[in-house]
């Protein structure tokens, strides 16, 4: 017996009191059966959209989906989507159903849903309505299309990435027939809006099964990010690296904390390794400049995928700096902080750790293990932040423009120049971030 939260129960009761069928459906049933707390609850009903609107006239309604039969009702427990039983008709463009057809029967509504584990509803007595074996697949950890996979992926190619996303998120396997079909039909993804592709990709990357899914379904990933294809099988000819670049990247994804920025960074961090590759006289492979070059490539990829600007800029900053040595002195750390800021330095520490997760420790006895270098950098960061008047930007100097003007400096570019010079000295460690010392140094600079 599965329980339904009160705010959902209230809506179900209102629909049923009006003479309609109504069921919690899809992800919330799946998550409840798995013992997880559903992120949101969806309801399907025999009530036509106009009836749903009438029944919930006292609520705030969000009506963006009415054409497809969805009315969203704002309750004290959050937004609940109520969708009229429907089939999706045909999909001439492989993206949007040409028209939806409302149907009288729950079973038909369940049949249009993507995967068996997403095609279950909850009956009023708390039992599960499961015509496609969703519970069995849930128990065995399997993502399987409802119906014939080829047909379903042709109807809506986004399901190809949704299958990967659910496999990563739930840490499930994809049924062999479904898996073979989605790889075979991957070119259909070209027709899907990039923002929808990106949204599924992000969901995939933060899942606990991300690395495995990326490896198993690499051709699908290369369909949406062709730049990564050159990584597969790319032998680094470097004693630190035992895996090819693609395998390494997928392992680095798993090793990073499950946040979109960090996982996107690890997915793309070595994208420029193949174009930057050269071997030295000893036959050892190197990739000088692959951080900067990789950041440029990632910028292009993420723009194409309609990634939001904040994420794109941060991912590119991290990629551009992922191949520098973790700062080993307070001065080097202050410089990095001044260059990228505190948040990005913390993220870089996570990226460096993820990047060396599969690295073989060097053959040369003189090499310091990466873990040690990263640990030292982290300790220095902590000490700097705990120390007196930490200063990693002009703004956090212990003096400001008004102080400089008060010294008799003329209003204009000279003020900014002096502040920048002071900041450079603080970063360098030649001046403390203390008001008196800064004012004294500024007075000297004023004369120049
Ligand atoms: P999540 O917890 O990740 O949101 P979810 O199962 O709720 O998982 P949604 O994308 O919110 O996923 O979709 C809700 C339900 O609608 C799904 O469970 C599935 O039944 C159905 N569905 C969504 N998108 C599709 C699609 N492209 N094709 C078929 N059915 C779909
Ligand atoms: Mg959902």
Q: Do domains 227-361 and 394-446 have the same CATH topology?
A: no
Ligand that lies nearest to the alpha carbon of residue 155, given by its number in the listed order: 1
The CATH fold assigned to 394-446 is Serum Albumin; Chain A, Domain 1 (1.10.246)
In this structure, are residues 442 and 414 in contact, taking their beta carbons and an 8 Å threshold? no
Q: What is residue 277's predicted lDDT score, i.e. its pLDDT?
A: 86
Q: What is residue 284's predicted lDDT score, i.e. its pLDDT?
A: 84
Residue ranges per structural domain of the chain: 1-140, 141-224, 227-361, 394-446
Ligand that lies nearest to the alpha carbon of residue 70, given by its number in the listed order: 1
**Residue with CA at minimum distance from ligand 1 atom 11:** 27
What is the whole-number distance in angstroms between the Cα of residue 43 and the centre of ligand 2? 11
What residues contact 441, with CB distance under 8 A and at least 6 apart?
A: 422, 425, 431
What is the whole-number distance in angstroms between the Cα of residue 126 and the centre of ligand 2? 20
Q: Which atom of ligand 1 is least distant from the CA of 113? A: 30
Which amino acids bring their CB within 6 angstroms of ligand 1? 26-27, 39, 42, 113-114, 118-119, 156, 158-159, 162
The CATH fold assigned to 141-224 is Hydrophobic Seed Protein (1.10.110)
Report, as ranges of residue numbers, the positions in the chain whose pLDDT lies below 70.
Answer: 89-98, 360-366, 448
CA distances from 221 to 164, 202, 211, 430 (A): 10, 12, 12, 50
Q: What is residue 67's predicted lDDT score, i.e. its pLDDT?
A: 84
Which one, of 69, 211, 221, lies nearest residue 160 by Cα? 221
What is the whole-number distance in angstroms between the Cα of residue 165 and the centre of ligand 2? 13
**Residue with CA at minimum distance from ligand 1 atom 4:** 27
Upper half-sphere CA count for residue 13 (Cβ side, 13 Å): 7
Span 101-155, pLDDT tens digits: 888 899 999 999 999 999 999 999 999 999 999 999 999 999 999 999 999 999 9
- Please spell the DSSP secondary structure of 317-334, one letter per residue: HHHHHTTSPPP-SHHHHH
This prediction has a pTM of 0.92
The secondary structure element, H or E, covering residue 392 is none
**Residue with CA at minimum distance from ligand 1 atom 3:** 27
Q: What is residue 90's predicted lDDT score, i.e. its pLDDT?
A: 60
227-361 belongs to CATH 1.10.10: no
* 1-140 CATH: 3.30.460.10
**Residue with CA at minimum distance from ligand 1 atom 24:** 114
Exposed, middle or buried: residue 16 (CB in 10 Å: 0-12, 13-18, 19+)? middle
Span 212-229, pLDDT tens digits: 999 999 999 999 999 999
What is the whole-number distance in angstroms between the Cα of residue 53 and the centre of ligand 1? 22
Span 411-423, pLDDT tens digits: 999 999 999 999 9
What is the whole-number distance in angstroms between the Cα of residue 157 and the centre of ligand 1? 14
Ligand that lies nearest to the alpha carbon of residue 28, given by its number in the listed order: 1
**Residue with CA at minimum distance from ligand 1 atom 16:** 26
- Distance, in Å, from the CA atom of 428 to the CA atom of 149, rounded to the nearest integer, reads 61
What is the whole-number distance in angstroms between the Cα of residue 26 and the centre of ligand 1? 6
């Amino acid at each position: 017996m599965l329980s339904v939260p009160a705010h959902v129960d209230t809506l179900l009761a209102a629909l049923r009191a009006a003479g309609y069928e109504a069921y919690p459906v899809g992800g919330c049933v799946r998550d409840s059966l798995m013992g997880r707390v559903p992120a949101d609850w969806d309801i399907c009903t025999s009530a036509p959209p106009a009836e749903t609107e009438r029944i919930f006239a006292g609520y705030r309604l969000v009506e963006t989906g009415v054409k497809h039969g969805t009315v969203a009702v704002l309750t004290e427990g959050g937004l609940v989507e109520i969708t009229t039983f429907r089939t999706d008709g045909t999909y001439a463009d492989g993206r949007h159903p040409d028209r939806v057809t409302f149907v009288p029967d729950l079973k038909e509504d369940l049949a249009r849903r993507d995967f068996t584990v997403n095609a279950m509803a909850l009956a009023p007595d708390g039992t599960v309505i499961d015509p496609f074996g969703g519970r069995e697949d849930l128990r065995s950890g399997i993502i399987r299309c409802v119906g014939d996979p080829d047909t379903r992926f042709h109807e809506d190619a986004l399901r190809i990435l949704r299958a990967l996303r659910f496999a990563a998120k739930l840490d499930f396997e994809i049924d062999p027939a479904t898996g073979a079909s989605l790889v075979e039909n991957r070119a259909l993804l070209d027709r899907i809006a990039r923002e929808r592709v990106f949204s599924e990709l992000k969901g995939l990357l933060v899942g606990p099964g991300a690395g495995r899914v990326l490896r198993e379904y690499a051709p699908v990933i290369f369909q949406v990010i062709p730049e990564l294809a050159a990584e597969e099988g790319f032998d680094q000819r470097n004693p630190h690296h035992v895996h090819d670049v693609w395998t390494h990247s997928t392992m680095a994804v798993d090793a990073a904390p499950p946040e979109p920025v960090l996982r996107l960074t690890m997915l793309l961090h070595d994208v420029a390794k193949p174009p930057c590759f050269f071997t030295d006289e000893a036959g050892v492979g190197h990739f000088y400049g692959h951080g900067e070059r990789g950041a440029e490539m990632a910028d292009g990829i993420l723009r194409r995928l309609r990634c939001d600007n904040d994420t794109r800029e941060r991912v590119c900053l991290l990629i551009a700096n992922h191949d520098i040595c973790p700062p080993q002195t307070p001065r080097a750390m202050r410089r990095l902080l001044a260059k990228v800021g505190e948040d990005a330095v913390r993220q870089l520490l996570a990226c460096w750790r993820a990047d060396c997760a599969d690295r073989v420790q060097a053959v040369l006895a003189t090499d310091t293990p990466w873990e040690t270098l990263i640990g030292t950098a982290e300790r220095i960061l902590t000490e700097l932040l705990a120390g007196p008047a930490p200063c990693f930007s002009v703004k956090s100097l212990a003096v400001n423009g008004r102080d400089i003007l008060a010294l008799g400096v003329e209003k204009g570019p000279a003020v900014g120049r002096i502040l920048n010079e002071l900041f450079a000295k603080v970063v360098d460690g030649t001046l403390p971030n203390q008001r008196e010392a800064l004012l004294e140094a500024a007075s000297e600079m004023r004369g120049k």
